[in-house]
């Protein structure tokens, strides 16, 4: 069994804005779990890596873009737990700090054109169909085992919250939270903030992962700021304000959009007074490296 012990505290944010609206906001600090196997990436890799070890696999094969937190997390996890790693990178061959870190953790990188990248199972089969050592991990860690790891967030909480928010890319973390809330029957309203334009597809993805209608899930589709990894000046200014006033670092791709949405919904009074809100900080702060010019 691989040792996935970690510590992730809940921390209340004492901002005057929240006090003015009489809402208490807490953060599940999954960003503190590990500097590179960060946040929900740690949770989403936990059970796939245990399954790979159980099956006697020695190489993790996965997928991501050039600034992928998931690629970096998998590379580091491979180094930590004794797997070789192989990453298919979407797009043209480039060199950047995140990919350099992947290589430092001894991940082999293979750049593929965007059309070929669409069919990840086919890519895996072309290169590893005859390999008994390779273990497939989908982009972003998406899958049932990954959702199982995210379900454990709800087991660790020290209190019950009226609302729980998370950022959504593949929908895996949202699905895991939904399954956990459903099991505990705690009545928490679950909110997802898709970071891609047209994020309503997240509903279909979480159904595939076993989430039906037992949990009150609300998707907030208007906080993508133009699409995945897109920004606007108001988002950058919010991130600066939030980081300066809380000392909690967030970034423009996922957590910046997440906290912006929470802030905005509280300001619109869509979160009732006297409510308690939990925001799951999913880590991935190395994403800042590709966007420092925005600041």
Q: How is the beta sheet containing 134-136 ordered, strand by strand? A: 107-112, 84-90, 59-64, 134-136
- pLDDT-based confidence at residue 290 (cuts at 50, 70, 90): confident
Please tell me the distance from the alpha carbon of residue 240 to that of residue 256, in angstroms, as a whole number: 10
Range 40-141 has CATH code 3.40.50.1100: yes
For 29, 227, 257, 283, the CA distances from 232, given in Å and listed in that order, are 26, 10, 11, 21
- The number of beta carbons lying within 10 Å of the beta carbon of residue 266 is 23
Are both 10-38+143-294 and 40-141 of the same fold? yes
Rounded mean pLDDT, 206-210: 86
Q: What is the pLDDT of residue 21?
A: 97
Average pLDDT, the chain: 94
pLDDT value, residue 84: 98
Residue 90 has pLDDT above 80, yes or no: yes
Looking at the domain 10-38+143-294, which fold is it? Rossmann fold (3.40.50)
How many residues make up the chain in this entry? 295
pTM of the model: 0.95
- Please write the tens of the pLDDT for every residue from 140-156: 999 999 999 999 999 99
> Where along the chain do its domains lie?
10-38+143-294, 40-141
């Amino acid at each position: 069994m691989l040792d996935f012990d970690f510590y992730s505290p809940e921390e209340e944010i004492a901002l005057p804005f929240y006090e003015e609206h009489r809402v208490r906001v807490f953060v599940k600090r999954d960003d503190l779990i590990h500097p590179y196997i960060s946040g929900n990436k740690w949770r989403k890799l936990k059970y796939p890596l245990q399954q790979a070890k159980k099956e006697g696999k020695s190489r993790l094969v996965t997928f991501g873009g050039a600034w992928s937190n998931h690629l970096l997390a998998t590379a580091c996890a491979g180094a930590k737990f004794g797997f070789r790693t192989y990453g298919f990178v979407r797009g043209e061959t480039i060199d950047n700090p995140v990919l350099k870190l992947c290589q430092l953790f001894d991940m082999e990188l293979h750049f593929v054109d965007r059309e070929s990248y669409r069919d990840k199972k086919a890519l895996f089969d072309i290169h590893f169909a005859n390999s008994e050592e390779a273990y497939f991990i989908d982009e972003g860690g998406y899958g049932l085992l990954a959702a199982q790891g995210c379900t454990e967030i709800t087991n660790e909480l020290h209190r019950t919250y009226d609302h729980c928010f998370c950022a959504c890319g593949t929908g895996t973390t949202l699905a895991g939270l939904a399954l956990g809330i459903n099991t505990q029957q705690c009545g928490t309203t679950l909110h997802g903030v898709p970071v891609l334009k047209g994020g309503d597809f997240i509903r279909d993805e979480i159904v595939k992962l076993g989430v039906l209608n037992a949990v009150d899930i609300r998707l907030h589709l208007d906080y993508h700021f133009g699409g995945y990894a897109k920004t606007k000046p108001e988002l950058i200014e919010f991130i600066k304000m939030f980081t300066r006033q809380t000392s909690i670092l967030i970034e423009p791709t996922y957590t910046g959009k997440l906290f912006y949405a929470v802030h905005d919904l509280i300001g619109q009074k869509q979160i009732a007074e006297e409510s308690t809100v939990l925001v799951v900080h999913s880590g991935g702060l190395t994403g800042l490296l590709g966007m420092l010019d925005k600041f």
